[in-house]
Amino acid sequence: MKLALLCALVALAFIAALALGDQPVPPGEVLGALFGSENVPAPSRIIVTELRLPRAVTALLVGAALAVAGTIAQAVMRNPLADPGIVGINAGAALAAMVVIVQVGSLPETALPWLTFTGALAMAALIYAFAWRQGTTGTRIILVGIGLSALAGAGASAISVFGEPAYVQRAMVWLAGSLQDSRWEKLPHLLGWSLPPALFAWAAARELDLIAMGDDVAQGRGQPVNLARALAILACAMLSGAAVAAAGLVAFVGLAAPHIARALTGPRHARLIPAAALVGAALLLTADIVARRTAPPLQLPVGLVTALLGAPFFAFLLWKRRND
């Protein structure tokens, strides 16, 4: 029931994303264009299917990928503030891509997800080395993550100082988190890198339920926790890498979507993962509409919009848990 409502919400945001713009298209024509009706005027059809559809689909997928990555991170790190965006996994992915983009200008679409995935995985390993073994429940993992995230950001800035200005310009837009460069050619890579790990995580929902309860509880029930954790981190890094490769750094969605979903469906991942994916998709679709429509024809980076929403949410979570 709640999942059906969320689906309806995503559909609504999706149609709004296709309808709204400098050239508004009535929702009826949007649906007509989507379902290939003959009665839709050609300009409307082109605007919807050629210009806005790839962007809306990218927003939907990136939002869902970030949300599922955040859900996995919160389960394995057992920390409500864990999110690949906050602990620097996304920043690691972005840095890895930055290094190469600034050097060579552009990359084949196939190479970018590999780079971001490697960066994300390397960052997860660093966080593990610095914080994980001392226990993950406290604020330590968040502090280390924020530190590493800042370091990766500083690294990206340093690289941009020495890079070719034109290349850097390109990279910076992407680093701020933007859906402007959404093209059909990029979608297969986004889908290929995000769908398998998301489905895998969903299939392993029971494992996530258990590992979220702590190593001793999980292992006492017979879970091979190290294997489960390694696979979960791998899935998380793939999702993070896919999202960053498609849209750059988009804050807040990975943190907020799991919390919102959990409030709706409870902590069990069999329902939490699809719910979080839907919430993440709706959030990013909406944020992108705001990014496009706030100061037209200027387009704000969607990462800026989500960051503006995310900072208060992060503060709220910290405040709510101030006594933990």
Q: Which residues bind another protein (CB under 8 A)?
A: 78, 137, 203-204, 206-207, 209-210, 212-214, 216-217, 219-225, 262, 266-268
Burial class of residue 296 (count of CB atoms within 10 Å of its CB; 0-12, 13-18, 19+)? exposed
Tokens of 226: 């190290």
Closest CA to 63 of 264, 277, 302, 303: 277
Least Cβ distance, residue 175 to another protein (angstroms): 35
Identify which of residues 79 and 178 has a Cβ nearer to another protein in the complex.
79
Identify which of residues 18 and 210 has a Cβ nearer to another protein in the complex.
210
Least Cβ distance, residue 216 to another protein (angstroms): 4
Identify which of residues 170 and 268 has a Cβ nearer to another protein in the complex.
268
Neighbours of 321 (CB within 10 A): 12
Tokens of 261: 């979903």
Identify which of residues 175 and 204 has a Cβ nearer to another protein in the complex.
204
Identify which of residues 100 and 270 has a Cβ nearer to another protein in the complex.
270
Identify which of residues 72 and 190 has a Cβ nearer to another protein in the complex.
72
Q: Torsions phi, psi of 22, nearest 5?
A: -55, -35
Least Cβ distance, residue 42 to another protein (angstroms): 49
Least Cβ distance, residue 255 to another protein (angstroms): 16
Least Cβ distance, residue 194 to another protein (angstroms): 21
Cα 324 from Cα 322, distance rounded (Å):
6
Closest CA to 74 of 29, 146, 127, 136: 136
Q: Torsions phi, psi of 186, nearest 5?
A: -80, -20
Cα 154 from Cα 261, distance rounded (Å):
33
Q: Is 81 helix (H, G, I), strand (E, B) or coil?
A: coil
Least Cβ distance, residue 117 to another protein (angstroms): 24
